[in-house]
Amino acid sequence: MNRRLEFLPEFKDDLQTQAVWYDEKSPGLGMAFVRATDAAVEMIIRWPEACPEVRGQVRRKWLTRFPLAVVYLLSADELLILGVMHGAQEFEAWLQRRRPTA
């Protein structure tokens, strides 16, 4: 099934914020985080239904080596990447992320 793939702008912001934070902790760790996120997104694109639903159509893919997850919305015609969430963050706030209405 071909779904439309979209990324919320917050995804890029989340990625940059976390990469900088990890790099400040240990040089090079930010790039490792970006690679882990890229691998998770690639897996989501290839097998979007592989990750469990956590609320309605919202799913999450935990990253390898990092306590973060890529959160996404999967519907019949769309795969919408919402952002990167730390495991300790309030999940309810992530459920509010949606594409801006035009």
Q: pLDDT by residue (tens digit) across 70-101?
A: 999 999 999 999 999 887 556 666 566 565 54
Q: Are 44 and 38 in contact (CB under 8 A)?
A: no
101 in any annotated domain: no
Which tokens go with 42? 């690639």
Q: Residue 23: give its domain's CATH number.
A: 3.30.2310.20
Total tally of structural domains belonging to the chain: 1
Phi/psi at 16 (nearest 5 deg)?
Answer: -65, -45
Which tokens go with 100? 């801006």
* Residue numbers of the domain that contains 70: 4-95
44 in any annotated domain: yes
CA separation for the pair 78, 72 (Å, rounded):
10
pLDDT in tens, 42-60: 999 999 999 999 888 899 9
